[in-house]
Amino acid sequence: MTLIADLTQALGAAHVLTGPDLARFRSEVTHHYHPDPVAAVRPASRDEVVTVLQIAAKHGVAVLPASGRTGLTGGLMTKGGLILSVERLNKIRAIKPAARIAIVEAGVVLDSLHKAAEAEGLYFPLWFGARGSAMIGGVLSTNAGGSNVLRYGSTRALCLGLEVVLADGRVLNLMSELHKDNSGYDLKQIFIGAEGTLGVITAAVMKLVPRPRAYATATLAARSLPDALVLLNRLQAASGGAVEAFEYMPASYMAQMALARPEIRQPFTPRAEVNILVELGTLREDEARPGPDGAVPLTALLETTLAQMLEEGMVLDAEIAQTEAQRAEMWRRRELASEVMTSRQPTIDTDICLPTDQVATFLYRIHARLPALDAGAETISVAHLGDGNVHFTVFPTDASPEHYDRVVEAVEDEVQALGGSFSAEHGVGLSKLPSMKRRKDPVALEVMRALKTSLDPDNRMNPGKVIPEA
Ligand SMILES: Cc1cc2nc3c(=O)[nH]c(=O)nc-3n(C[C@H](O)[C@H](O)[C@H](O)COP(=O)(O)OP(=O)(O)OC[C@H]3O[C@@H](n4cnc5c(N)ncnc54)[C@H](O)[C@@H]3O)c2cc1C
């Protein structure tokens, strides 16, 4: 039997997509890659995933696990591989409020988990623009970050247990609900961030946290990035670590947004150089309950800290959200980043991480270096400043791949010199393979290759991604 006949017999024709039905799997979100899979399958259970992997092994076909397909690094690029979509593994099996966990299948959309947790007064603290499409299998496989990492950590920190189907069809059951389990290696961590190169994640146990009773949100103009860091540390001290998000948007981003989305109100006139979106969240009733004057104490705390820094000249201007609509407007400005950046082409995107006190130095150094590489280039750096993750984007005057590499290498040089990483939250996929080759510790690469060979000796799980050839 052919591959397609075997798959059709196992899953039914409706769940083996070929020809025109495959159209959506031939495009991807960045438009930089043009996948050409042999087919896409949509198993509905872990056992069907096992069957698909066994059939793929029999036919010697590469398998690319797919979730929400919002990944930004070309992780689903293939010529002739089989896409294994987990979109039908979409059950929230249980929310356990007392234990504060959710047991979910890999195809659960992030936003669905947000809603299910919210119904129990809880929160799944992984929050980013693509939450309406990204799925649990994908966020685990890319170890996604987002705006709340500062307080809650990346996806890695939010996972207690995992179920994975290995390349040969064996099921690795690590569905622990435990916060402590020292029975040997923490194997789940190998699969988190593996981008589908080691197996298919089919289910997970995720941590939930109490939902903040109130938020205080502001957009402010800081005198400089180091001053913004002073603000962050003062707010953390004053609030007992309640800062949920601390996001940086430079004047260049606001200017580009004015062009791409003129209907969005700009926060400050004249435009500020360093715009920060800050959000605090409190679990405490006394900080969330409005006083006799109607003021929420958490908001008052934010106001007081900002007022003090205004007096000291470190904050130049600020607006505090007084309503949910104003808070939403502030978040909208930040979450339009992906759309605003792609409205202008060509771009050179990076997703770097620096020690938080080195972000300003990095920006200074790269802007000093860039004119020698591309005198006409413009840049925009939107950042999850609270955790040091900068999306430094260059709009080059030369669209050639050679120029792309030159600029990326210059960014990598400066990042490495400051103790940073070339990959913060989007993963490696295909687009950062050259960086892996140039910058990753060679022994780390050897260990990764050894793991890959032992779990996937025929190199059929998302081949050619994450680990560069030796
Ligand atoms: C508008 C926008 C905003 C974004 N903002 C952020 C952000 O703030 N922070 C952030 O971290 N990311 C962000 N991203 C990137 C992207 O959303 C994340 O990488 C997300 O985690 C990918 O999830 P997904 O379900 O779409 O995965 P996919 O794109 O389907 O897959 C991503 C990778 O994981 C592998 N994979 C998928 N499912 C499985 C599985 N079940 N088992 C094994 N491997 C699997 C795939 O093979 C692929 O290599 C953004 C993307 C967009 C489009």
- pLDDT value of residue 176: 97
Q: What is the pLDDT of residues 48-70, one digit of tens each?
A: 999 999 999 999 999 999 999 99
**Separation of 140 CA from ligand 1 center, angstroms?**
8
Residues 6+ apart with CB under 8 A from 413: none
Q: Which residues pair with 164 in a beta bridge?
A: 172, 201
- pLDDT value of residue 294: 87
Q: Which of 41, 45, 70 to mutate to test the pocket of ligand 1 (most atoms within 8 A of CB)?
A: 70
Provide the sign of the torsion angle of the four alpha carbons 434, 438, 443, 444, taken in this order: negative
pLDDT interval class at 219 (50, 70, 90):
very high
Q: What is the pLDDT of residues 82-131, one digit of tens each?
A: 999 999 999 999 999 999 999 999 999 999 999 999 999 999 999 999 99
The average confidence (pLDDT) of the chain is 97
Neighbours of 447 (CB within 10 A): 11
pLDDT interval class at 465 (50, 70, 90):
very high
Q: Rounded CA gap, 267 and 263, in Å?
A: 12
**Separation of 87 CA from ligand 1 center, angstroms?**
13
Q: Which residue has the tokens 């809880």?
A: 122
Which atom of ligand 1 lies nearest, measured to the CA of 64?
Answer: 47
Instruction: Please say whether the beta carbons of 65 and 201 come within 8 A.
Output: yes
Q: Which of 49, 67, 147 to mutate to test the pocket of ligand 1 (most atoms within 8 A of CB)?
A: 67
- pLDDT value of residue 31: 87
- Angle CA 136–421–341, to nearest 5: 65
- pLDDT value of residue 343: 86
Neighbours of 402 (CB within 10 A): 7
Protein residue with least CA distance to atom 50, ligand 1: 130
Mean of the pLDDT values across residues 178-186? 96
**Separation of 139 CA from ligand 1 center, angstroms?**
5
Protein residue with least CA distance to atom 16, ligand 1: 71
pLDDT interval class at 1 (50, 70, 90):
confident
- pLDDT value of residue 363: 98
Neighbours of 27 (CB within 10 A): 12
| DSSP state at residue 469 | P
What is the CB-side half-sphere exposure of residue 250 using CA atoms within 13 A? 17
Q: Rounded CA gap, 231 and 221, in Å?
A: 11
Q: What are phi and psi of 15, to 5 degrees?
A: -115, 15
pLDDT interval class at 342 (50, 70, 90):
confident
pLDDT interval class at 337 (50, 70, 90):
very high
350 Cα distance to chain centroid? 13
**Separation of 27 CA from ligand 1 center, angstroms?**
15
- pLDDT value of residue 102: 98
Residues within a 6 A CB radius of ligand 1:
29, 64-72, 75-76, 86, 106, 128-130, 134-135, 137-139, 141-142, 144-146, 195-196, 200-201, 338, 425-426, 429, 462, 465
Q: Rounded CA gap, 410 and 422, in Å?
A: 11
Mean of the pLDDT values across residues 242-252? 98
Mean of the pLDDT values across residues 202-220? 97
Length of the chain in terms of residues written: 470
Which atom of ligand 1 lies nearest, measured to the CA of 338?
Answer: 1
Q: Give 305: exposed, middle or buried? Use CB within 10 Å, 0-12, 13-18, 19+.
A: buried
**Separation of 341 CA from ligand 1 center, angstroms?**
18
**Most confident residue range from 282-296, 308-322, 329-343:** 308-322
Residues 6+ apart with CB under 8 A from 270: none
Which atom of ligand 1 lies nearest, measured to the CA of 198?
Answer: 43
Q: What is the pLDDT of residues 364-418, one digit of tens each?
A: 999 999 999 999 999 999 999 999 999 999 999 999 999 999 999 999 999 999 9
- pLDDT value of residue 148: 96
**Separation of 86 CA from ligand 1 center, angstroms?**
13
